[in-house]
Amino acid sequence: MPSGKEWHRAELIVAFNLYCKVPFGQLHKSNPLIIQLADKLDRTPSSVAMKLVNFASLDPTHKNRGVRGLSHASTSDRQIWEEFNGNWERLSYESQKAFNKLIAQPLYDEMLDRAEQLIDKPTETEKESTVRVRLVQSFFRETVLSSYNFSCSMCRLSIAKLLNASHIIPWSVEKKRRGDPTNGLSLCVLHDRAFDRGLLSIDDKYRMILSKELKMGYRNDLYKVAFLSLEGNKIMLPEKFKPDLTALNYHRNEIFLK
């Protein structure tokens, strides 16, 4: 395969999409996903792995851990990083669409068919809008859950089918942050519902806080284990895309019942 080729934006946003979903320890040339993407891009697995590690060198979470990556991030790498962080909704949609077409065309076709089924005689604009929502949701879920190693950040439950990628600032409130993984938490279905309803929140030290209403609940064993025993505990922080304190502040002030 050709090596030393210039990376174009269309390739970079797909590579960054994959970076978001792959744990740092798996950013190597033997990863099957990296091999598959390399084949589609007509590049070597080493080249793709290096690009993903370069993105990691720009990640504030890894910088704080002292991980410097290869320190070969290019100007275009930094531009892609800034582009995603400037508008996660638009870039999560654009990159997920490109990734699905490149890696999983049948899934993308199925998504288009499903959009037509959901809307009676949809226009192209309506169909595209439905697909956009699903692609952003898919990117957000995959990125957030993988960042938390498919575990609930509050109780550490690690059954993937019982986990949700929860928005801190709700989907309906801020469009640009719909696909932003720093506006997300990996939560089991129980803690997701409690968080969404304002029964619990997280302080600026990443500790769990319970509402008065939740503290006054029925004291059965599940209630004690799932809520009372966790109050004041620090949530499990992700490998990357740490929850944004501004978003958590919004939740405490606008959603949490106190």
The model's pLDDT over 158-179, given as tens digits with 9 standing for 90+, comes to 999 999 999 999 999 999 999 9
End residue of a domain, out of 86, 109, 128: 86
Query: Is 112 part of any domain?
Result: no
Contact 169, 149 (CB under 8 A): no
Tokens in use for 33?
A: 């996903």
End residue of a domain, out of 40, 70, 86: 86
End residue of a domain, out of 64, 86, 108: 86
pLDDT-wise least confident of 19-28, 58-67, 79-88, 135-144 = 58-67
Query: Is 45 part of any domain?
Result: yes
> What pLDDT does residue 70 have?
55
Query: Is 145 part of any domain?
Result: no
Query: Is 30 part of any domain?
Result: yes
Dist CA 90 CA 95 (whole Å): 9
> What pLDDT does residue 48 have?
95
CA angle 102, 150, 242 (to 5 degrees): 90
Contact 140, 181 (CB under 8 A): yes
Number of H helices and E strands in the chain, helices first, is: 12, 4
Query: Is 82 part of any domain?
Result: yes
Strand runs (DSSP E) across 136-233, as ranges?
Answer: 163-167, 184-188, 200-202, 208-210
Query: Is 97 part of any domain?
Result: no
Q: Is residue 119 over pLDDT 90?
A: no
* pLDDT mean across residues, the chain: 87
> What pLDDT does residue 122 have?
54
> What pLDDT does residue 222 have?
85
Tokens in use for 98?
A: 């490109």
Query: Is 63 part of any domain?
Result: yes
Q: Is residue 110 over pLDDT 60?
A: no
Number of domains composing the chain: 2
For 197, the domain range is: 160-254
> What pLDDT does residue 72 have?
73
> What pLDDT does residue 8 have?
93
Residue type at position 72? H
190-211 exposure pattern, b = at least 16 Cβ within 10 A, e = fewer = bbbebbbebbbbbeeebebebb
Model confidence at 1, pLDDT cuts 50, 70, 90, reads very low
Q: Give 169: exposed, middle or buried? Use CB within 10 Å, 0-12, 13-18, 19+.
A: buried
> What pLDDT does residue 71 have?
61
